[in-house]
Structure 1
């Protein structure tokens, strides 16, 4: 049975303008060193600059692996809960989202799942595939929620640190398997937990 291995990565630390910082470059390089031992077939990245730069940095350690943009990986809100689903602590988070933005986010979320959250195509030699997706915290949360078959609103509260690694395996006839979530073992302690607020860092 062939397996599609997805390595989900939040981009490296970025500044307020969305550009990768020196810390972010170091994080991405260390992740690239870790992934150098994996038979990676492709690196896909969001079109946003912090993800593009992260993908290029980690790909320096993956010679001859193709690197390409995937529009579905762009940062977006995948699902806006209705009032009954909304945790009280998130009550104001979605203020200002209109119906068009909500619908556009849902279309992107559906496209993300349709493109990446499935087993390999059955035709061909039947070899496993290994793909790295350099994206954003919301998109990782949405794919994890989907893998768990959890209600759509449960993507809220799932966060990923910068360049933390989440791995999901997809096989025909079986539910997706979350192999790891938010793993930072490739980072030294001073580079871990960026992307989380100071109050929640252990």
Structure 2
């Protein structure tokens, strides 16, 4: 039986820029990534994948420093993009308004990149056992969870993940996908949780 353990991580907290540009990690985000690295130290990953945004690149670099010898790959398919051109009909007003903010180009390009990521990563390997780490963004983690559960396509909406929260999905040649853990932040102290989520959220 062949299995893939896919570790999905939302990048660390972003250093916010007034112009909304592509910024790296805040001080809190760097600490989140360092603690995640300690948790994953020694895990026998076959590869680390990350998207092109600076916050994902810096998170992946900090984690990879604890994984000597593990190859690191940059990939557009695990970047920050719209995972599905979801029909807003029947959705709550705030979701419909959110979806309306995407451009035609984003609606065309994003789902194709997501399909590439799913085809490459959401399957069992040809043989053996493989672990891979993907440092990505909230939307793509949500899509992989939805995909594993075979939930309706619109259910990627409303799945929110902590910065540096850890989700693990097991893909097997002998069984359906299995969610091992979702949005796990046991490696983060309380003061470094609840970033990337609504401001009144606490855990």
Q: Give me the TM-score of the superposition, normalised by structure 2.
A: 0.92
- In the TM superposition, 1:12-161 aligns within 5 A as 12-17=12-17, 18-122=23-127, 126=128, 128-161=129-162
Q: Tell whether 2:179 aligns with 1:178.
A: yes
Unaligned runs of 5+ in 1: none
The separation in 1 between residues aligned to 2:91 and 2:201, in whole angstroms, is: 21
Q: Over aligned residue pairs, what C-alpha RMSD do you find?
A: 1.4
- 8 Å CA contact retained: 2:32, 2:164: yes
SS for the counterpart of 1:32 is: helix
Unaligned runs of 5+ in 2: 18-22
Structure 2 CA distance for partners of 1:129 and 1:81, relative to 1, 3 Å: same
The separation in 2 between residues aligned to 1:65 and 1:118, in whole angstroms, is: 21
Q: CA deviation at 1:7?
A: 0.6
The separation in 2 between residues aligned to 1:198 and 1:87, in whole angstroms, is: 20
Q: CA deviation at 1:151?
A: 1.0
1:163-202: per-residue Cα shift (whole Å, max 9, x none)? Answer: 0100001011421101000000001111111111212234
Q: CA deviation at 1:98?
A: 4.2
Q: CA deviation at 1:121?
A: 1.9
Q: CA deviation at 1:96?
A: 4.0
Q: CA deviation at 1:131?
A: 0.6
